[in-house]
Amino acid sequence: MSALFTPMTLRGVTFRNRIFVSPMCQYSSREGMPTDWHLVHLGSRAVGGAGLVMVEATAVSPEGRISPDDSGIWDDRHAEGFAPVTRFIAEQGAVPGIQLAHAGRKASTDLPWRGGLPLGPESRGWQPVAPSPLPFAPGHPVPRELSAAELDDVVRQFREGAGRALAAGFRVVEIHMAHGYLLHEFLSPLSNRRTDEYGGSLENRLRFPLRVARAVREAWPAELPLFVRISATDWVEGGWDPGQSVVLARHLKEAGVDLVDCSAGFLTPDAVIPFGPGYQTPFAAAIRREAGIATGAVGFITQPAQAEQIVATGLADAVLLAREMLRDPYWPLHAARVLGADLAWPVQYERAKLP
């Protein structure tokens, strides 16, 4: 039997297989609201046989968006808007998930296909916020340093976002602590120069992200799993690194997190990242082994045999596919045939199923 197509249970949720759709920004929302694009985009991946379909980085506040066209979860209207999406995903046999996010100093940027440059207030933008007043890159605005009271507000926003995610019908929440966004900015000494209880030592830099994790866990039902995405390394000397990631993962496990989604990089624009097939999988393997927590591997996973090997050999408990799912929404159906697994096709498509 294929390990990739073996069901996986976390808390009270069973995933039909270990193929998860990674959260991918679509830049197609209006005032944070999902649109028909989201229903079709996410729904087609559920039809395609994935075990988990995760909504893109979804901002817990308006200023937490990467762009003005990101999805949001800061208003009850957003929960209502996502309800048809989660319902359709679940009807196809997949688990609906959502990634809760705050972009921090990387907020208020234009769409990637328009260059992704910073936007000012005159162009639907706003001033970003961060742990410290350090811009992401030359030409980017200096973010405003968050006060202790504002940090309390951010914790509340994540907690309330989890509550709205539940009301919308999601069964998995993932907290975004990766890719140079706000919570990653607190973790890395390259972006966190605070002198209060949230900066300096590793213990202090962990403090705020762990506050968020605990708050979300308290708001999220005990029978539903909680994920966290991390950047396991900044790929920069003196930055966040795999050893610190293991320490973080141990604390996340104690806080009630069920799976660490292991990505890497994107805190700084000058990092030299060794892109290649499965290049981040060793981080998932190390964290799984050394922190004793389930992990997901992500990054340049494209072939069925590659995904099977990752799960079968215990390098990770699941694989998260991003670009490959954009190329082929039905990748799990095709992978099942390659690996000799019996994955049910939608009855509407069965006449096209090959033996």
Q: Would you state the pLDDT for residue 355?
A: 79
Number of neighbours of residue 15 by Cβ within 10 angstroms:
24
Q: Would you state the pLDDT for residue 149?
A: 97
For residues 16-32, b (16+ Cβ closer than 10 Å) or e, as one string? bbbbbbbbbbbbbbeeb
When the candidates are 3.30.70.360, 3.30.420.40, 3.20.20.70, 3.40.630.10, the CATH number that belongs to 8-352 is: 3.20.20.70
Query: Cβ-count burial of 42 within 10 angstroms (0-12 exposed, 13-18 middle, 19+ buried)?
Result: buried
Q: Would you state the pLDDT for residue 40?
A: 98
181 assigned to active site: yes
Catalytic residue among 27, 181, 279, 330: 181
Q: Return the domain boundaries, the chain.
A: 8-352
Share of the chain above pLDDT 70, in %: 100
Q: 3-class DSSP state for residue 122? A: helix
Listing DSSP states for 194-222 in one string gives --STTSSSHHHHHHHHHHHHHHHHHHS-T
Listing DSSP states for 254-303 in one string gives HTT--EEEEE---SSTT------TTTTHHHHHHHHHHH--EEEEESS---
CB 45 within 8 A of CB 325: yes
Interatomic CA distance for residues 243 and 247, integer angstroms: 7
| pTM for the model | 0.98
Please report, for residues 37, 127, 183, 260, the alpha-carbon distance to residue 180 in angstroms, rounded to integers and kept in the order given. 27, 17, 8, 17
Residue ranges in the chain modelled with pLDDT below 70 = none
Interatomic CA distance for residues 228 and 174, integer angstroms: 5
Taking the CA atoms of residue 20, residue 84, residue 164 and residue 175 in that order, the dihedral angle to the nearest 10 degrees is 20
- Please write the tens of the pLDDT for every residue from 119-172: 999 999 999 999 999 999 999 999 999 999 999 999 999 999 999 999 999 999
**Residue type at position 45:** R
The strand pair at 52-59 and 129-130 is best described as unpaired
